[in-house]
Each structure stands twice: as C-alpha cells, then as structure tokens.
Amino acid sequence: MLIGHRFEHLANGDLHIHSRNLVQSAFMLLTGAITFILPVACVGFWLTEWQAQLADLNPLSTLLLILSLLLMPALGLSLMVYMGSRESLLLSRVGGEGKRRTQNFFGRRERVKSVFNIDNPRALELRRREQAEPIHTQLWLVMRDGGEHRLTTDNIPVVPGSKRTDLWLRTLADYLDVAMPGEVVLESAVAKPAPYRPAPTPAKIARQRKTKGPVPAAESTEQLGIPARALLALIGTFLAVLELNQIVALVPAVISGRLRISGFRSGYTTFYWAEQPVAFSFNVFLGVAEVLVIGFIAWQCLRTAILGRMKANP
C-alpha cells in the first residue's frame, strides 16, 4: 500500500497509528538525489566543456556559482532532515492523553506537534470548509467539556467512503469508545477548538518552586542546531554575494547613466538616462529595492546563524 496507516496496539493498551505516504517519500528521495547529482554533473561539464566561459567570469560571479553548487545539495538534505514526512498519532487511555508526532525522512528528529486530552470523549466529527474539495476533510475529536482536537495527519488525506479512511475511522472509534462519524459537517457552523495544555507533573511543579523567578509559559526563542545554522549561513552568504554583485553592476550604471538589464524573454536591454530618464529611474529604483529587500533577508539569515536562535511560535 503506497498510502495508508499502520496500526500498532501496545501491551499497555496504547494505540499508535503510523501514517505512511510512500509517494511523498519517493518524491523527497528523488528531489534529494537530484540536488546531489545536478551539481556534480555541472562541475563535470564545466571542467570539460565550459572552461572558456568560466575563465571569463569575474570573482564575484565565480563565488556565486560555487555557493549555488553548495546550496543545492544543502537544501535537498535539509528537506529530508527537517521536514516531518512521517506522522504518528499516539493515543493512551492509561495516561488520558493523545499526541501528534512527526519524524523526518530517516525516522529521526521526533517533534510533538500537539498534545491533547482524550478522557471523556463525546464524538468524532468529519468537517470540511464550505465549497472545499472532499480531499480537504478533517477529523476532529469532540470532548464532553467542549474541547476539540484535530486528529487528521498532514501527509494522508481523508476521503470519506474509502476503505482506507473507513478502517482508520473504525479503529479510532473503537479505541475511543465513540460512534463512527457519519456525514461531513460544514466547518463554518462549528466553534473554534479550545487549546488543551497537559497538567504539569509533580516533578515539574517542584522544579518551578525552586527557581527564583517566574517560569514562562512558553519559550519565546528556539535554539538551532549546528546543521540548521550552517544552512542559514550558506543561504545568507549566497544572498549577500548575489546582492553585492548587483551593487557592483548598479553603482557604475548610475554614475555613467547607462543601465543594462537582462529579461527572461527579451534578453539584454540597455537604458540611457539622456534618452529614457523615466525608464532609467524606474529600473534603478527596482534594483535598489531588490538590494534592500534581499539584503535584509541575507542579514537576518546570517544574524540567526550567528546567534543560534530564532523566535518560536507562541
């Protein structure tokens, strides 16, 4: 089965539902392979066929080319490492809690996306926004106290009436001791879910009492690992060199009154201040705006890579 769920019933009564999408995994593997093969092929062509073109490049363009060759495999590897392609729904009647957990392509880097209460459930509901396609249907767990929690994974769509979805719904309904959901409910007629926070353990309460100051409810920053910082540094350096190359071409053009730009279909076009002042000024303004915007992004990437932390979602 290329797309489906694997049900795991543990000895302690827990239910683990592992969602697998082999099509998505194959696409990620193919993308990662291409990002590694393409730079190697480009280097081979440049060393054998395009040596004359490489000799004509200026140092900034050469550095930009090298950074682009390094950036492609870095992006492909980061896609496989940091994207949560494997999802699992972990339900425990003993602990009274459920978790939505994600893992990367290699089955590592576990991250808990949400923790919710499963004590005293009232019903399971299939919901969909008005005028949305059936593939966008979501499954919600409705509690007796009014709380609501989304159980749908992001890598497998819910298709009401299919064997895969019916088996998934039947397994969840039997475990939670509720009825299987029937018709799809329009989401506009449903109230927004109330977030659930698990109760702190006694050990955590004791640690909080020992601290001198108040403990924040959530961390405002997230520490980044060395691979993420290296990737951000590479992206920031690439963007910085790209815009430095743009500045080197823009400043002499402003001084001389002759601006040459390249278009996607039209090729190179030259604007002269003496003949076309409006078009010349407009294109200079676009060039300066590009330098400021992309330069700001490059500065943020380098700053985050150096500090090693970034703002986390509240």
pLDDT in tens, the chain (314 residues): 678 888 888 888 889 999 888 888 888 899 989 999 998 888 888 777 766 666 677 788 888 888 989 999 999 888 888 888 889 989 988 888 889 898 888 888 888 888 888 888 888 888 888 777 777 788 888 888 888 888 888 888 888 888 888 888 899 888 888 888 878 887 664 445 555 555 565 555 566 655 544 444 444 566 777 888 888 999 999 999 998 988 888 888 888 888 877 655 556 778 888 888 888 888 888 888 989 999 999 999 999 888 887 765 54
Rg over alpha carbons for the chain, rounded to the nearest Å, is 27
- Asked whether residue 269 is assigned to any structural domain, the reply reads yes
The answer to whether position 280 is within a domain reads: yes
227-281 per-position pLDDT tens digit: 888 889 999 999 999 989 888 888 888 888 888 776 555 567 788 888 888 888 8
Q: How many CA atoms lie within 13 A of 299 on its CB side?
A: 7
Q: Is the pTM of this model over 0.75?
A: no
Residues near 57 by beta carbon (within 8 Å), at least 6 away in sequence? 65
Is residue 137 assigned to a domain? Answer: no
pLDDT at residue 216, as a whole number: 46
Residue 29 lies in a domain: no
Q: Is residue 156 part of a domain?
A: no
Give the model's pLDDT for residue 190.
Answer: 46
Count of structural domains within the chain: 1
Residue 298 domain-assigned (yes or no): yes
Please give the DSSP secondary-structure letter assigned to residue 277. H
pLDDT at 189: 46
Residue 278 lies in a domain: yes
Token couple for 313 = 């979602």
pLDDT digits (tens, 9 = 90+) for 114-141: 888 888 888 888 888 877 777 778 888 8
Q: Hey, how many other C-beta atoms are within 10 angstroms of the C-beta on 165? A: 19
Strands 221-223 and 309-311: antiparallel
The CA distance from 272 to 10, in Å, is 75
Domain, as residue range, for 266: 222-314
Q: Give domain status of residue 177, yes or no.
A: no
Pairing mode, if any, of strands 15-21 and 97-103? unpaired
Nearest residue to 155 (alpha-carbon basis) of 222, 104, 120, 203: 104
Q: Give the per-residue pLDDT at 180.
A: 85
Give residue 101's identity as a one-letter amino acid code: R
Q: Is 139:150 a contact under the CB 8 Å cutoff? A: yes
Of 252, 261, 259, whose CA–CA distance to 281 is shortest?
259
Residues forming a β-bridge with 92: 97
What are the Cα distances from residue 301, in Å, to 228, 236, 305? Answer: 11, 5, 6
pLDDT for 314? 42
